[in-house]
Amino acid sequence: MSKTMKKKCSFCGLSEDNVSMLIIGIDACICPDCAERVHEVVSENYRMNTAAPRKRRPAKNSAVPKPGEIKKFLDQYVIGQDDAKKYLSVAVYNHYKRIDQNINTDDVEIEKSNIVMVGETGTGKTLLARSIAKLLNVPFAIVDATVLTEAGYVGEDVESILSRLLQAADYNVQAAERGIVFIDEIDKIARKGDNPSITRDVSGEGVQQGLLKLLEGSLVNVPPKGGRKHPEQQYIVVNTKNILFICGGAFNDIDKIVSRRLNSQSMGYKAVKEKEILDRKNLLQYVIPSDLKAFGLIPEIIGRLPVLTYLLPLSRDAMYRILTEPKNAIIKQYIRLFEMDGIKLQFEDSVLEYIVDKAMEFKLGARGLRSIFETVMVDAMYESPSDSQKELYITLQYAKERIEKLNNILYVA
């Protein structure tokens, strides 16, 4: 009598002696490990190719933090910019109070508190928006306005903004409809001058007009996978009524518009005294909606961004604090990276002062700090993991040599 042939998993080939069990079908067998992998593949494919939302409970905002609590949280991540933090804290608090209100109590309808932030690059606009989303535990999406074009032209439609928010919410529409969208580089879609366009402006005024329905609140058909719409496609319907839109932009040279307005309003002895009080180095703090209109935003979109705030250029003291104080401070990040390799990283105090001075010289804001730090540390990060040393001390001379090497490359280029 012949010996019975041992059964094997049809996927990995392991015999029944090498697995805990075999699930036997008509013409095939599968072990538990392979069954689990198949389940993961099928689940991922189903999620990516259908609009069916996961059974994920949307964030509950019934206990929205008070404005003071929101600002205190932001202080842990963003240095300075107290005015911007106050405006954002109040706007966010009122927005989620509005969502959670009992609309049957009276006939008062509270409007959305969409926000626009004006400030130079690297002053913390994106970080503020991301930190608020982290505090509230709501879906958050960052969109670059420069890639948007009017429908029918090369580029992305405005509906792609909501596609990214849906992705951040794992396609849970209910959660996405309480989320936050940060539209960066909003100033790049401004029309040229303060007059209506006489030619088609598909990446400027046309995009602004396309954004109107999103900002105000309406039902929008969103392609589940993003991209262009086509007639035979199935759409996900998203109501933007309760989505908070935060817009940010550098608005280069808007300070000149502010200056001209202030000068044109200044007449007489009283005006002379007022001009002495004005902080001419930080004119962004005097920005008003009419300045955005003069810059090139259409009045309709300005009206849908009722909360206007500003971020001042970072001082040297603020730059030093950004380098060392926040929870995600750059120096803390590098110390942790070296700790993972069992290396204790230390810096001479003058090194940090030198890096801040260089960042102020390059005028790149907080992002400049990371670029300079990376230049100083790249050689050490390359060599240290292969060395046996357990401590690394960065001196001022070492930092200067790395920065001067960069300056020589820039000079030759």
Three-state SS for 152-191 is CCCCECCCHHHHHHHHHCCCCHHHHCCCEEEEECHHHHCC
Note whether residue 56 is domain-resident: no
The total of other beta-carbon atoms located within 10 Å of residue 156's CB is 21
CATH number at residue 182: 3.40.50.300
Asked if 174 and 243 sit in the same domain, the reply is yes
Asked if 327 and 405 sit in the same domain, the reply is yes
pLDDT bracket for residue 56 (50, 70, 90): very low
Angle, CA of 397, 401 and 404, to the nearest 5°: 130
Measuring CA to CA, which residue among 313, 293, 312, 311 is closest to residue 303? 293
Separation CA 118–CA 255 (nearest Å): 10
Q: What percent of the chain has pLDDT over 90?
A: 14
CB 51 within 8 A of CB 237: no
Output the six-digit token pair for 358: 């260089």
pLDDT (average), residues 305-328: 89
Token pair 């911007």 in the structure block, residue:
84
Flag whether the pTM goes above 0.75: no
Collect all residues with Cβ–Cβ distance below 8 Å to 251 and sequence separation of at least 6: 118, 187, 292, 295
Asked if 102 and 28 sit in the same domain, the reply is no
Note whether residue 37 is domain-resident: yes
Exposure string (b/e) for 336-362, b if CB count within 10 Å is 16 or more?
A: eebeeeebebebeeebbebbbebbbee
293, 311, 329 — which closes off a domain? 311
Asked if 79 and 42 sit in the same domain, the reply is no
Asked if 324 and 275 sit in the same domain, the reply is no
289, 311, 333 — which closes off a domain? 311
Three-state SS for 215-245 is HHCCEEEECCCCCCCCCCCCCEEEEHHHCEE
Residue with the bigger pLDDT between 55 and 406: it is 406
Residue with the bigger pLDDT between 337 and 10: it is 337
pLDDT (average), residues 389-404: 88
Output the six-digit token pair for 339: 């700790």
Asked if 259 and 342 sit in the same domain, the reply is no
- Looking at residue 55, its pLDDT comes to 36
Q: How many domains does the chain have?
A: 3
Q: In the structure, how many helices (H) and strands (E) does the chain have? A: 16, 11
Asked if 250 and 285 sit in the same domain, the reply is yes
Note whether residue 61 is domain-resident: no
Note whether residue 58 is domain-resident: no
Decide: helix, strand or coil at residue 351. Answer: helix
Separation CA 119–CA 249 (nearest Å): 6
The segment with the largest mean pLDDT, out of 62-71, 100-109, 186-195, is: 62-71
Asked if 343 and 367 sit in the same domain, the reply is yes
Separation CA 175–CA 171 (nearest Å): 8
Evaluate if residue 167 carries a pLDDT over 70. yes
Query: Model confidence over 363-382: pLDDT tens digits?
Result: 777 888 888 888 888 888 89
Query: Model confidence over 111-150: pLDDT tens digits?
Result: 888 999 998 888 888 889 888 888 888 889 888 888 887 6
pLDDT bracket for residue 309 (50, 70, 90): very high
Decide: helix, strand or coil at residue 249. Answer: strand
Q: Please, what is the average pLDDT of the chain? A: 80
Query: Model confidence over 211-262: pLDDT tens digits?
Result: 888 888 888 888 776 555 555 567 788 889 889 999 999 898 898 899 888 8
Across 240-314, the runs of DSSP E, i.e. the strands, are 244-249, 307-311
CATH number at residue 398: 1.10.8.60
Evaluate if residue 308 carries a pLDDT over 90. yes
pLDDT (average), residues 284-307: 90
Note whether residue 326 is domain-resident: yes
- In the DSSP assignment, the letter for residue 8 is B
The total of other beta-carbon atoms located within 10 Å of residue 304's CB is 20
Note whether residue 230 is domain-resident: yes
Asked if 251 and 366 sit in the same domain, the reply is no
Evaluate if residue 410 carries a pLDDT over 90. no
Do the bridges between strand 244-249 and strand 180-184 make them parallel or antiparallel, or are there none, so unpaired? parallel
Note whether residue 305 is domain-resident: yes
Asked if 301 and 344 sit in the same domain, the reply is no
Asked if 144 and 268 sit in the same domain, the reply is yes
263, 282, 311 — which closes off a domain? 311
* Structural domain boundaries enclosing 393: 316-412
What's the farthest any 2 CA atoms get from each other in the chain?
118
Evaluate if residue 316 carries a pLDDT over 70. yes
Asked if 79 and 43 sit in the same domain, the reply is no
- Looking at residue 155, its pLDDT comes to 59
- Looking at residue 305, its pLDDT comes to 92
Note whether residue 59 is domain-resident: no
